[in-house]
Chains A and B, each alone.
Chain A
Amino acid sequence: DSGVTQTPKHLITATGQRVTLRCSPRSGDLSVYWYQQSLDQGLQFLIQYYNGEERAKGNILERFSAQQFPDLHSELNLSSLELGDSALYFCASSVVQSGRAKGSEAFFGQGTRLTVV
């Protein structure tokens, strides 16, 4: 168990709909990352939040948005869904860098599998 919780695990929805994916980071982790993994593809970076503020943005579609709340959980909102949005969406969290901190890696949740029909 990585300590990162994602809900729901599975989601099936129709084209044109809107969904919200939720992520609770590990206790104490201030950074949250969202990644998209389409079938048999690599992980595409979507967006990163650090302590409530957007830190970095990847190839995230305008139909997608995210936020990180004061309690550090994060939500990824996907709207006007298309068939091509079907994918596994991962959330990851990591500690803040401080000196040569040992905790440099990101810990991943189990992902939310989104199927758009």
Chain B
Amino acid sequence: AQTVTQSQPEMSVQEAETVTLSCTYDTSESDYYLFWYKQPPSRQMILVIRQEAYKQQNATENRFSVNFQKAAKSFSLKISDSQLGDAAMYFCAYRSYNRNDKIIFGKGTRLHILP
């Protein structure tokens, strides 16, 4: 069974600085998707960024980018120019490509932005 591990329960970063959230996963599959979801205080789940395992190029969405290391099964999220609105819980998630299967979430990292 696939697992997703986020080893940092909480992190803090100064406004305008850069922060990296870590995620590792375990799978025997070769095709899959990885995601980072953001959950602000409103509790809404918001997709931040998506990575397809077959793509070597790291995904980027504005200030958000990932470092995808397939061999190491690592998928970190980098937030540049941190803003107060980035304060939230961030979840790393895995989904198998070959079946329309459930999305498995890590336990999350709570990110604090310091003004």
Cβ of B68 < 8 Å from any Cβ of A?
no
Given the interface pairs A42-B91, A42-B107, A104-B52, the reply to whether A33 lies near B45 with Cβ below 8 Å is: no
Complex interface: chain A residues within 8 A of B101 (CB): 48, 55-56
| Number of interchain pairs (Cβ within 8 Å) | 59
Assess the B100–A55 pair: CB atoms within 8 A. yes
Assess the B108–A42 pair: CB atoms within 8 A. yes
Chain B window 29-59, contacts with chain A (Cβ cutoff 8 Å), 1 for yes, 0 for no:
0000101000000011101001010100000
Assess the A33–B52 pair: CB atoms within 8 A. no
CA distance A111 to B40 in the complex (A): 13
Assess the B43–A56 pair: CB atoms within 8 A. no
Assess the B97–A106 pair: CB atoms within 8 A. no
The number of chain B residues with a CB under 8 A from chain A is 23
The number of chain A residues with a CB under 8 A from chain B is 28
Cβ of A14 < 8 Å from any Cβ of B?
no
Query: Which are the 5 A-B pairs with shortest beta-carbon distances?
Result: A108-B45, A42-B107, A43-B105, A104-B33, A56-B102
Q: Which residues of A contact B (CB under 8 A)?
A: 30-31, 33, 35, 37, 41-43, 45, 48, 50, 55-56, 58, 88, 90, 92, 94, 96-97, 100, 104-108, 110-111
13 A-B residue pairs with CB within 8 Å? A30-B100, A33-B102, A42-B106, A43-B91, A45-B103, A45-B104, A55-B101, A58-B102, A90-B45, A92-B45, A96-B100, A97-B98, A104-B50
